[in-house]
Amino acid sequence: MLAGTAASAQEKTTLFKVVTLKDDVVIALSARDIGALGGNDVTHIGRAIKAGGELTVWQYAVRKGRDGELEQAPLKRVSLIGHESLRVEPYASPLRVVPVPEN
């Protein structure tokens, strides 16, 4: 992937870390998801979960890319269910970020 293309993908995909009592998970929102939520910060995600009780997002994980370099990439769709102990934080990956699949 060219450097310009990687930067473009990272601008279109925003990563967050969801922290619960059991574990942490890295999730991503596409530009379209962010538009539907009304913004790309943790407040908008928290409000969406509280208002709807849940939010379906892409879980991200580290994998080896085709070029052998490590990258953050979509793993599977997961549903976040609102809970008092749920915390959402911005997440900055030092790795290349693969864009969220557009469905």
Which pLDDT value is given to residue 28? 93
Which pLDDT value is given to residue 11? 56
Which pLDDT value is given to residue 88? 92
Which pLDDT value is given to residue 84? 81
Token pair 């538009």 is found at 35
Which pLDDT value is given to residue 95? 96
Mind listing the pLDDT tens digit of every residue in the chain (103 residues)?
Answer: 334 444 444 457 899 999 988 899 999 988 888 888 888 888 888 888 888 889 999 999 999 999 999 999 999 999 999 888 789 999 999 999 999 987 6
Give the predicted TM-score (pTM) of the model. Answer: 0.81
Q: What are the distances in angstroms from CA 61 to CA 28, 39, 51, 87?
A: 10, 23, 27, 19
Which residue, among 17, 12, 6, 3, has the nearest Cα to 91 in the 3D structure? 17
